Structure 1
């Protein structure tokens, strides 16, 4: 704690929150010092015998778990540098920012806060992303607050950059405490933030191995892979003759039609197929694009066992090949598809929308 610039109002806030708060949310823009403030609060409360649950929901610059996750750690004593990571639980969201994953983000945060309270935390401290500008950020932050119903909202501001949010919260009856950012806040470049994520990925995937997982034993919540009736080439109408049909996998489940070509260089008569099979929607997935995709591996209770990257998905052989540190593959019940490509479990090299709905 000697390296932290502790302001007087931080000390006062810590005392007030400890008196009456069960849930406290920390808001602030990127590089405002939210993690530093959380570190101070955890240290202060734990040192006084308070059991603190720390929910790290900064998807891109996470302190506890790997990027793209919301994680939880319980502190009964002040954290040391060698035990501040290694979360008790984590929940996969799928992206390093909430955009495009708002429901997943809210669900993950609520799940971790609930687990914190189930673990007997006296105070649950929720660190958030620096996503504060624009209508999407406004909606996300408001629903997060209404969902968690915190007794205190801690707002870190350099000037008045969050007043467009905070004044509205106060009108709705929420208790907002405004704090000034530390003088020693360091602004990190995009390259530095990317390097930080790469280090986190590298540490997480250090013990990862290549494993095969049977498709028929798992569910893919974002699509119908393995849940429908496979369509054989002979079942296709003659007018839907497709070059390279032997490498085109199709399934139908209800009114959904799944089409999985190896590459998108195949001309697929989507609308003819929809009409012929009576499908209201087509789910199109290019198998090649799945390679290196970051995925979440959850058990039957929807608890994230860990992360993995896709080496290959072969629906004809009925298996998905993963690179993951998760050792007990038999516990995997669902595989959640993310939006990031991770090379060799280290470097992000792109974002992608794997599923196209037609």
Structure 2
């Protein structure tokens, strides 16, 4: 008989699921602050996989990804469409749908003390509010895991095509990224102080999903997240099933943020995930007072991984993040199976290529604004 999984003093028996509140202090009104953690302890032995969401409080797609993962499309627990149950699970799931509760309540990317929680890991017991929260998440939750999936979206003024970020120099993390199944994988060790970077350094093989934008639920991003997590569960032999692969995969080592040459109003001419060619107009910048219009052209052939969505721009602000596609066969494959209409499918073989742009930078070295 498999042993119970002990978490925060609670023994979770094999084949059961338990919600455990992790307490980490008081708010300014003296009310208890806590992080809700769902533990699914499988019948059979297997790895421990952690899934985290809302490190940034306005990145809400991850909350619903987790809800669908645990409770199916009807969102109700204990019904026939539940995707993952402890009775059919090998190993243990540690799931944190809301890592930063106060930030979620105030619709904020940053924590209630104004800091970016994803620059505060591994945290400190005696530091700022965000540092103490990071310490709680990392040392009391994440370090219990063998693997980690961290769910994110773009900030509110941008949107991202669904893609996975991982340290591709760490073989296990790269395997996870491939298994997730998105056509685009960005090589990234993660910014200093990020949860994924600290986790990988600790030997917890980690990937991060970027999909969609902030403060909304987006069906495409949610579907990508649910299907990708199911792929990883199959890859880790935690559930039975078939992994669905993309028709093509681009592992991006460097990319370019195309920036606005002037201030004005942004009029995008492409969709996120679209394949563009060198010289193709990707946006127009108009002067709302004079009527002048300036066209922005792509300096390379590639896929638009991210796009700005805010209409108002200053000179130098980002318009589009383009990952280069220099391989002719890959360009043809992307045209035949464009990411703008992408969905998980069963394919016999995935065409894979590496995107390295001599004029680009790794994502970790690009300015965040």
**TM-score of the two chains, using structure 1 as the length reference:** 0.30
Is the helix fraction higher in 1 or 2? 1
- The structure, 1 or 2, with the larger RCO (C-alpha pairs under 8 Å, 6+ apart) is 1
The TM-score with structure 2 as length reference comes to 0.29
